[in-house]
Chain A
Amino acid sequence: RKEVEQDPGPFNVPEGATVAFNCTYSNSASQSFFWYRQDCRKEPKLLMSVYSSGNEDGRFTAQLNRASQYISLLIRDSKLSDSATYLCVPLEGFQKLVFGTGTRLLVSP
C-alpha cells in the first residue's frame, strides 16, 4: 500500500462549483497533515495545515478522519486561479513530509 494515495484527476469543474479531493494515508502515527498547492512548473506552497479534526480558511475546508486515516479538501466557489495540483502531505517523524502524487484541478470559465 502506498504511504499516501490520491486520485490524480484531473477534476474538471466550472467556475463557482464546489469540488472535494480525498486522500488516504497509511501511517497511523501521523499527527499533523498539510495540503500543499503546486502550480504547473512551480514549487509547492503550503495551502492549509490540519492538526485536529479539521480547518477552514475562506473557501477552503480540510477535514481529518483519524479512524479511517482519511483527509479531505473542499473548495467552494471555485476560481480560475484555483487550477493547480493539490498535494496531500502527512507529517512523519522529525519534520518529514510525505507527499502524495497530487490531484490535478482544472477550473474552466
Chain B
Amino acid sequence: EAGVAQSPRYKIIEKRQSVAFWCNPISGHATLYWYQQILGQGPKLLIQFQNNGVVDDSQLPKDRFSAERLKGVDSTLKIQPAKLEDSAVYLCASSLPPPGLEQYFGPGTRLTVT
C-alpha cells in the first residue's frame, strides 16, 4: 500500500516569497493533517481536515498560512509571505476515521527561509 506522498521534499526561498506544499494521503483516509516541526521540537498541528471540511485550524497563522482540500483527497498548504521563523519541516499525515487513530506521516517538506 502506498504511503503518504509529499512534494517537494526540499525548498529554499527568501523571506517575503510564497511557497506551496502538496500532500496525497493514503487512499481511503478521510482525515488529513498538516504539522509544522521546528528543529528540536515535536510536530505542531497546523490544520486538520475531515474529508474536505476543516476540523481544527486553531494553530494555523491565518494571516500568512492557508490550506485547502477541495475534493477530500489531495491537500495543499501555502505560506504567503514567508518569514524566517517559518523554516521547519512540514509534515502531512492521514488517518482513517475512529477507531483507526494511528496517523501515518509523509516524509515531509524541509523549508528553509533565508
Contact = CB atoms under 8 A, between A and B. Distances in A.
Interface stretch (B20-28, B70-78, B103-111): B103-111
Interface residues of B, number: 22
Contacts of B62: none
Interface in A79-109: 87, 91, 93-102
B43 A99 contact: yes
Contacts of A4: 42
B101 A32 contact: yes
A94 B107 contact: no
Interface of A: 4, 8, 32, 34, 42-46, 49, 87, 91, 93-102
Interface of B: 31, 35, 40-45, 48, 50, 55-56, 91, 95, 98, 101-103, 105-108
9 contacts: A32-B101, A45-B105, A87-B43, A91-B101, A95-B55, A96-B56, A97-B103, A99-B35, A99-B44
Given A32-B101, A96-B48, 19 more contacts: A8-B40, A34-B101, A42-B107, A43-B105, A43-B107, A44-B91, A45-B105, A49-B101, A49-B102, A87-B42, A87-B43, A94-B48, A95-B95, A95-B103, A99-B35, A99-B42, A99-B44, A101-B40, A101-B42
